[in-house]
Structure 1
Amino acid sequence: MRTRPAARSARLLLATAVVAALAATATACGSGNDDAAGSAPASSTAPASPLAPSSSAAAPSSAPSAGAPSAAAPSAGSSSTGGSGNDVASSGGKTPSCRTADLTMQAKNTSPDSRTGDVTVLMTNRGSGTCSAAGFAGADLKDSDGTSVSVARGREVPKITDLRPGQTASFSISYSVDTSGDHLYNPVAILTTPPNETHSVSLKWPAGAPPLAGPYGSSTIQVHPVAIEG
């Protein structure tokens, strides 16, 4: 009967060995899991590298859209001053026209001989600034019976005529002389209107001027453009 305690001891030792083996196995597994967990890469927490800008982003265009209004080019058209029907351009609009009130006017006989009639009207600038007298002056001959007729213009091309204060310009009226002795046309005054003006001045027909042949309004009586004296 001594064999029973020995058998029990053997079973106890076997059980103890099994438990120890199981414990060792569990420890080894736990250690392996911990190592595996610690060595796993932390890729989920690594900062992401910046993304390159998309190649499909549209660059701003410097060209205007088709519907955008374009700036209008300044007109190349130029302006000119008119008045009194003058066939001459003003001096670029820089010099104002001479006003009747700023001019001293006088008519004088400038006929070279008894067969050629010529009366000259002098216009002196008595204003404080330079003014333009370019063009044809208006000239109406007033007869002794009270009638007046405009004098036709010559064919000359007017020139730019700027008058400084105190300077004088002039225009002439040429006409055919009456050699018949009838003296049917007897002008007593010249109604004078400076170029680009509307106000007239009545000047006496100069004494000593040859008799005018007439008729008034004919092409034998002509007014010529204003020009600088001297």
Structure 2
Amino acid sequence: MTYTRTAALAAIGLAAALSLTACGGDDSGSGSGSAKDTSANGTPAAPAADGGAQSQGGAGSGGAQAGDGTTGSGGNGGAQAASNGSAKTTGKGQSGGKVTFCKTANLAISARYAAAGKTEGRINVTMVNRGAATCSATGFAGVDIKDADHTSNPVERGSAQPRITTLKPGEAAVFDLAYTIDPSGKSLASPTNILVTPPNETHTANLKWPSGAGAIKGAYTDVQVYPTHTAE
């Protein structure tokens, strides 16, 4: 009996010890697991989650503010820049940076004979700007000479460089038709009209051939037209 009781007590003590050891082993295992998580993530799990949320919130908030600030400022600045650019462009145009070519309808055009000698004939064609704005008459006018037989003959350009010819309202530009006079009285040319198309225009003015003009020697292709210039 004594042996049996002693063995029973020993068994109970051993069971209790084993129970305590098992509890201690669970706590140790839990602690070891936490240590492994910390090593892998660099920070404890719970603080990392809180820190990540704060960082994301901070970056998101800061990004939204920066975006709003940039968009608002950039958008308004861009609109103002575009508006200013348009205003400047318009201003340059209004200040005379670009001048349109004179319209035939706004020009008073006339022709007169200006004798250059006994052998050289010259006809001056004058164009007066009767419009309300400054315009350009720079270049060569298109000229055709109409003959008594109702044919129209184009005039060739002379060898001269155009000069800038800008006309304010009331100002005049002049260009010349030059040819050789035929004193024989046997000229085959019988001009009746001069058809003038101002530089960079498509509308034509019909002028009478000046009275007293010397006869043209050769063909109409021997007549030459020279660039416009301002009247002096």
Specify the TM-score bucket, using the shorter chain as the normaliser. Answer: 0.5 to 0.7
1:7-18 map, 5 Å: none
Q: C-alpha distance in 1, partners of 2:192/2:118?
A: 19
User: Partner of 2:200 in structure 1?
Assistant: 196
Q: C-alpha distance in 1, partners of 2:112/2:155?
A: 17
User: Partner of 2:135 in structure 1?
Assistant: 131
Worse-superposed segment, 116-125 or 152-161: 152-161
Q: C-alpha distance in 1, partners of 2:190/2:229?
A: 27
User: Partner of 1:107 in structure 2?
Assistant: 111
User: Partner of 1:116 in structure 2?
Assistant: 120
- Give the structure with higher Rg (CA): 1
Out of 99, 102, 114, the residue aligned to residue 98 of structure 1 is 102
Corresponding position: 1:205 with 2:182: no
Displacement after TM superposition at 1:221 (Å)? 1.2
User: Moved runs in structure 1, 4+ residues, more than 6 A?
Assistant: none
Contact 2:187 2:218 in 1 (8 A): no
Corresponding position: 1:147 with 2:151: yes
Secondary structure of 2:105's counterpart equals helix
* TM-score (normalizing by structure 1): 0.58
Displacement after TM superposition at 1:93 (Å)? 6.6
Corresponding position: 1:160 with 2:164: yes
Unpaired segments ≥5 residues, structure 1: 1-47, 52-91
Instruction: Mark the CA change 1:93 to 1:100 in structure 2 (over 3 Å): closer, same or farther.
Output: farther
Letter in 2 for 1:225: P
Percent identity, aligned pairs only, is 47
Unpaired segments ≥5 residues, structure 2: 1-46, 52-95
Aligned-CA RMSD value? 2.5
Displacement after TM superposition at 1:214 (Å)? 2.5
Secondary structure of 1:189's counterpart equals strand
Cα deviation, 1:188-210, whole Å, max 9, x if unaligned, reads 11000000100001101111111
User: Partner of 1:225 in structure 2?
Assistant: 227
Say how many residue pairs are matched: 146
Letter in 2 for 1:228: T
Q: C-alpha distance in 2, partners of 1:137/1:115?
A: 25
